Amino acid sequence: MRILGIDPGYGITGFGLIEAQGSQYRLLNCGAITTPPNTDFSWRLEVIYEDMRQLLERAKPDAVAIEELFFGQNVTTGIGVAQSRGVILLAIRQAGLTPVPYKPMQVKQAVVGYGSATKHQVQEMTKRLLHLQAMPKPDDAADAIAIALCHARSSTSLLARYQARG
């Protein structure tokens, strides 16, 4: 199964494409969609949408996992990220896929086994699961890879298989 993980943002949107076969995982591609600061925000959203559309077309994922928004102290930034996430969700749906959202705590739980794990712990376990020498950069791409791993590990669990039979 090819899984595309997405860490949405409007300055940097990270993506990570993995292949999952049972409990074996392989990194296929990762990177970031970037837009320059101090440019028209609607133009930035258009760039994110078009780049995401092209990425989905080239990557041909079987599933797409995307991080849910977490509003911390800066609500203004959160609104921009929400708008970016909206155009990403549109591109995913137009590609005929249903995005699967994951909360940051779910990603930590699935990858590390502990919902309050640190960013460093998530990156270390991601590196081990994928047999990588170093974590890919930028951090947004590394986060997206962890989101893809979360989906791989969650969708193959016994509970997920049981719920699918429904």
**Domain segments of the chain as ranges:** 2-165
pLDDT in tens, 54-112: 999 999 999 999 999 876 666 667 889 999 999 999 999 999 999 999 999 999 999 99
Q: With cut-offs at 50, 70 and 90, classify the pLDDT of residue 158.
A: very low
Q: How far apart are CA 83 and CA 8, in angstroms?
A: 10
Q: Which residues does the annotation mark as catalytic? A: 7, 67, 140
User: What phi and psi, each to the nearest 5 degrees, are found at residue 23?
Assistant: -100, 15
**pTM of this structure:** 0.91
Q: What is the mean pLDDT of residues 130-141?
A: 94
Q: Which CATH architecture has domain 2-165?
A: 2-Layer Sandwich (3.30)
Whether residue 36 has a cis bond before it, omega within 30° of 0: no
Q: Average pLDDT, stretch 12-26?
A: 96
What stretches of 22-156 show up as alpha helix (H) in DSSP?
Answer: 41-59, 75-94, 104-112, 119-130, 139-155
pLDDT of residue 163: 46
Of residues 163 and 132, more confidence is placed in: 132
